Amino acid sequence: MLVVALTNATNGIVISANVKGRPIVYCNPAFEQLTGYTRSEIVGHNCRFLQGEGTDPEAIHQMRTAFDAGAATELVVLNYKKSGMPFWNALNIGPIHNAQGTLTHFIGVQTDVTERIDLQKQLEQRAFTDVLTGLPNRAQFMHELERELGLVDRQGHLALGFVDLDDFKSVNDSYGHKAGDELLIQVAARLRGVVRGADLVARLAGDEFVLLLRQTASRDVLERIGSRTLAAFQRPFVLDAATVTVHASLGFVQHVAGEHAAALLERADRCMYAAKHQGKNSFVTD
């Protein structure tokens, strides 16, 4: 009866012997279907053949710890099918003892949860991504900034650039919100082009963007980035409704030891407004 139940189970099931190498002594058809391997390729081997480059070492450590302790454990691990295709595997491992209480085998029940994990990642991405431009949104930016501030003492200096479009409202008023959205998408692309590879461009809200400039210790670097940014706005933006020229006002600040994220962002915002007050299409560095 037990063998029939294991054979007909919809979850992948393997049983490994508690001997050196912990070879698999049984697998059910669902496990073959899940992994793409045949029974002859599975039995006699350790489950390590499912692991690959993306498999989390912490998950492997958790499994080994459970095996060594003769304990049950649950985890989700990235494994690989015979075809090389990765899949997320929800794994429940349990010890099997004989009538004398000796640990003889381990049973593993495996479920493909790739769709669930992918959906979760999509939801997380939406929560931290600006839908219009594809840039990180305010939540993701603040998360990254807080993380960088925690590392700044060990990895170098940090600076921030605040970018606000000049007279963006006139584009919306003259050509409609669709044209405004097209403009913001193109602005995002141009800002990506002026920063360095390690830097981050994010959209905070409306026509406000921010540049997270990692390992930036020099005002000269800030001024070069500021000049490149202004130059990127000199070329007209070609929209469906019209070709428009839109400039920007920028504020740049360097991180001060002990300064919190909100204070750093506020200083950059003040510098940006100072640039607007001095005539727009310019930048101010604190």
HSE (side-chain half, CA atoms, 13 Å) at 162: 25
Helix (H) or strand (E) holding 38: none
Phi, psi of 130 (to 5 degrees): -70, 120
Residue 106 zone, left/alpha/beta (φ > 0; ψ -120 to 50; rest): beta
Catalytic residue among 207, 220, 269, 286: 207
Closest to 106 measured CA to CA, from 8, 10, 19: 19
Decide: 89 and 30 in contact? Cβ < 8 Å: no
Position 153, amino acid: D
Q: To 10 degrees, the CA torsion angle through 145, 146, 148, 152?
A: 120
Strand bridging mode 200-205 / 243-244 = unpaired
Structure tokens at 241: 């409704």
- Pairing mode, strands 73-80 and 86-97: antiparallel
Cα distance between residue 159 and residue 146, in whole Å:
13
DSSP string of 118-170? HHHHHHHHHHHB-TTT-SB-HHHHHHHHHHHHHHHHHH--EEEEEEEETTHHH
Q: From CA 179, how far away is CA 244, in angstroms rounded?
A: 10
Residue 167 annotated to the active site: no
Residues labelled as active-site residues? 207
